[in-house]
């Protein structure tokens, strides 16, 4: 599962590549990745062990360090990995980045400068953050994720129904309440945490479920302890992990080896309504489910129209598709005829959409 640098014509799948992430990304084929999740190092001010793209080490922060030089170095690093990521993404692919106030504003500005198109900023609210011990600031209880498509006009994937279902049938908001990674989920080595910033699997679960489909390829350029790979495997997605530290890569590989994929792909896929087979309204007439001449009404019986043999409706004065006639009688610009029109079955009004669903159920 662990590999060193190599030029690839096809992306190596479900592997961890050890080394500098930018060099690895540049060796992978253009436009080959569906989604990227990135948890880049935070700013120099805290860590001081940032590597330049060429793997040379940035001088550690000391009393003489110049803030402007440091931000410039971090910006340069950000620019480089983001442009490599953009090259790798499919045109309809999306990118997630997570960060804190130390680095996320710089990353966000770079994203916009490079033409990524922001879809949402998402706040991970921690149920159990570390308190502010000195009482000099607000408790820093969240991190920020930015979700963006490769380009402004990308037809990106968003599994709206899956997210809505996850949230008790209310549309998912941009603020997510999830615990930090603790307890048995937290990887340990000799009783010490194996990685300082291991992300919780619940966070990746939501990210992956929201923005990918089964068998999609997910890249994580800062793989660390491999949370992205573990959740990708469980949800039957493919992944590539890039990690410069061979020790972390080994821990991640061992972790992922223990993960079992959900056995049934249907359990981890939520097909969008938009992706369902299209059934023309005329099919209902052809198949005798609705006879020509049947009278359709709206829910409050304010309007009515008759079904014609060619699958159009007529009110006498107006004629056209179920959508067009629905819009016309309401004097509205548009209308979803499937939901607007009802037919009477045994004295009760039934939306014609119910009839369509029966056809779909017969021939899946």
267-274 — which CB contacts under 8 Å span 24+ positions?
Answer: 268/209, 268/214, 268/235, 268/236, 269/213, 269/214, 270/159, 270/161, 270/162, 270/165, 270/209, 272/159, 272/160, 272/161, 273/161
Q: Per CB under 8 A, which region of 112-120, 240-248, 250-258, 349-357 contacts a second copy?
A: 112-120
| Cβ distance to DNA smaller for residue 166 or 214 | 166
**Hey, is 195 helix, strand or coil?**
coil
Give least dist CB 83 to a second copy, A. Answer: 15
Contact pick of 113, 254, 286, 310 for a second copy (by CB under 8 A): 113
**Residue 44 interaction partner, one of a second copy, DNA, none, beta carbon < 5-8 Å per kind:** DNA
User: Is 304 an interacting residue with respect to DNA (CB under 7 A)?
Assistant: no
316 touches a second copy by CB under 8 A = no
Residues between 75 and 114 that touch DNA (CB under 7 A): 100-102, 112
Shortest Cβ 119–a second copy spacing (Å): 5
Q: Per CB under 7 A, does 250 bind DNA?
A: no
Between 44 and 256, whose beta carbon lies closer to DNA? 44
Report residue 187 CA to chain centroid gap: 25
d(CA 96, CA 214): 18
Name which of 108 and 226 has its Cβ closer to a second copy: 108
Q: How far is the CB of 121 from a second copy (least distance, A)?
A: 4
In degrees rounded to 5, what are phi and psi of residue 173?
-90, 175
Residues 275 and 12: their CA atoms lie apart, in Å, by 29
Residues that bind a second copy (CB under 8 A): 51, 55, 67-68, 71, 100-102, 104-109, 111-113, 115, 118-123, 125, 129, 131-132, 135-142, 144, 146-147, 158, 160, 163-164, 171-175, 210, 330, 332-334
């Amino acid at each position: 599962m662990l590999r060193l640098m190599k030029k690839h014509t096809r992306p190596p799948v479900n592997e961890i590549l050890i080394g500098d992430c930018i060099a690895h990304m540049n060796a992978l084929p253009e436009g080959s990745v569906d989604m990227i999740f990135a948890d880049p190092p935070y700013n120099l001010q805290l860590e001081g062990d940032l590597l330049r793209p060429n793997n040379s080490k940035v001088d550690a922060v000391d009393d003489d360090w110049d803030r402007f030089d440091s931000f410039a170095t971090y910006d340069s690093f950000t620019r480089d990995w983001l442009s490599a990521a953009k090259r790798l993404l499919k045109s309809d692919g999306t990118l997630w980045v997570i960060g804190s106030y130390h680095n996320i504003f710089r990353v966000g500005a770079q994203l916009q400068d490079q033409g990524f198109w922001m879809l949402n900023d998402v706040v991970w609210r921690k149920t159990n953050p570390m308190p502010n011990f000195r009482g000099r600031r607000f408790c820093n209880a969240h991190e920020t994720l930015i979700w963006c498509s490769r380009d402004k006009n990308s037809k990106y994937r968003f599994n709206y129904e899956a997210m809505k279902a996850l949230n008790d049938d209310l549309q998912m908001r941009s603020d997510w309440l999830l615990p930090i990674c603790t307890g048995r989920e937290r990887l340990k080595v000799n009783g010490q945490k194996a990685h300082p910033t291991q992300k919780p699997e619940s966070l990746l679960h939501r990210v992956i479920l929201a923005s990918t489909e089964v068998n999609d390829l997910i890249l994580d350029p800062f793989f660390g302890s491999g949370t992205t790979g573990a959740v990708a495997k469980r949800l039957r997605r493919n992944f590539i992990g890039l990690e410069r530290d061979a020790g972390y890569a080994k821990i991640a590989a061992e972790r992922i080896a223990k993960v079992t994929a959900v056995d049934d792909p249907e359990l981890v896929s939520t097909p969008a309504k938009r992706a369902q087979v299209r059934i023309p309204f005329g099919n209902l007439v052809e198949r005798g489910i609705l006879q020509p001449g049947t009278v359709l009404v709206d829910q409050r019986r304010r309007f009515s129209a008759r079904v014609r043999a060619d699958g159009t409706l007529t009110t006498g004065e107006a004629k056209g598709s179920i959508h067009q006639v629905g819009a016309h009688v309401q004097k509205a610009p548009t209308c979803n005829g499937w939901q607007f029109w009802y037919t009477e079955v045994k004295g009760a009004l039934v939306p014609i959409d119910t009839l369509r669903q029966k056809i779909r159920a017969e021939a899946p």
